[in-house]
Amino acid sequence: MLRIFEFLYKIRTFLLFVLLEFLAVWMIVSNNSPQGAAFFNSSNAWAGKALEKQSEVVQFFSLAEANASLNSENALLKQKLLRHQAQPDSLPLQIDSLLEVRYKFIGARVIANSLRLSQNYITLNKGEKDGVKPGMGVFNSQGVVGRIKSVSENYAVAFSLLNTSLMLSAKIKTSDVFGSIQWNGTTSSEAQLLYVPRHVKVSKGDTILTSGFNAVFPEGILIGQISEVAVNQKDPNYLALTVQLSTDFSRLTYVYLVENPAFQELDSLQNQSILTND
């Protein structure tokens, strides 16, 4: 027995090494599941505050740009609003669930962002207090940005679209064929559109939008344009489509969060009937 203890004492450094590595790997694994280890995220108060201060300094230099993009978006929205303002009409219009406003929007500022890793995350300055919930979609005026992963009181962490574990439901605008957008971890301006069958006619420059099938994003938010069409080498039944992302991830400043209040209902209904839409 003493021998064993002596032996263990001799290799104590190695044992500690194994233990610490095990802890680290456990952290990596649990962090990559959406629910786990929310505490250590930069959504925790201290890290969040520090990152916010840093981003305040950095973003001061891009204020003009942010202003311009907000301004142009405002103009666009004004124009759309004008179209929707009801004209006095003799025809009474029944409001039904089809016309109901289904989505809620929250504005937020990006305080930390990475793009060079293969699992990239974005930290936002809005949290539980402001009504942010895990699973909400994130986009900006350019296009889709990502999806909320975990939330603390004042901050939230989102999967960037540049995260190899995130998949979004997308469709091709011209043909309405849908597939899944996933990033393959190489270029920060390109993603892959998967599961588009080979018989579909696709050409370079086709616009890719969110499909609205998974109820995270409203239908029709821009994702990007097809930049390359090829046949999938691994599975010849599908096309390998490369999409030039419309969002410039290196200059994210302001984003919108979108929530579908009916998401729970839809999701549970689809689960009940064992439908899967991704």
Partner 1 sequence: MTSRNIISYSFLILTLVVVQLLFLKNLAVFGQAFGFLYLLGLLVLPRTLRTIPLMVLAFFLGLCIDVFFQTLGMHTAAATCFAFFKHIWLKISSPSGSYEESEELTLSQIGFVRYVSFALPLLFLHSLVFFVADHWGTGTFISVVSKSFFSSVFTFFLTILVQLLFFKRKRGIL
Site for partner 1, rule CB under 8 A: 12-14, 16-17, 20-21, 23-29, 31, 37, 40-42, 44, 47, 50-51, 54, 112-121, 123, 157, 164, 184-186, 188
User: What distance in Å separates the CA atoms of residue 22 and residue 26, rounded to the nearest whole number?
Assistant: 6
* Residue 62 or 264 having the CB closest to partner 1: 62
* Residue 25 or 63 having the CB closest to partner 1: 25
Query: Cα dist. 244→85, 115, 181, 196, 210 in Å?
Result: 35, 15, 11, 16, 14
Contacts for 4 with CB less than 8 Å, ≥ 6 apart: none
* Residue 185 or 261 having the CB closest to partner 1: 185
- Reduce the DSSP state of residue 259 to 3 states and report it: strand
| Least CB distance to partner 1 at residue 33 (A) | 12
| Least CB distance to partner 1 at residue 94 (A) | 48
| Least CB distance to partner 1 at residue 168 (A) | 17
* Residue 244 or 270 having the CB closest to partner 1: 244
Place of tokens 């973003």: 59
| Least CB distance to partner 1 at residue 26 (A) | 7
| Least CB distance to partner 1 at residue 37 (A) | 6
Query: Cα dist. 124→63, 107, 174, 204 in Å?
Result: 17, 10, 34, 34
* Residue 26 or 105 having the CB closest to partner 1: 26
- Got the DSSP string for 23-83? HHHHHHHHHHSTTTTGGGSTTSHHHHHHHHHHHHHHHHTTHHHHHHHHHHHHHHHHHHHHH
User: What distance in Å separates the CA atoms of residue 74 and residue 52, rounded to the nearest whole number?
Assistant: 26
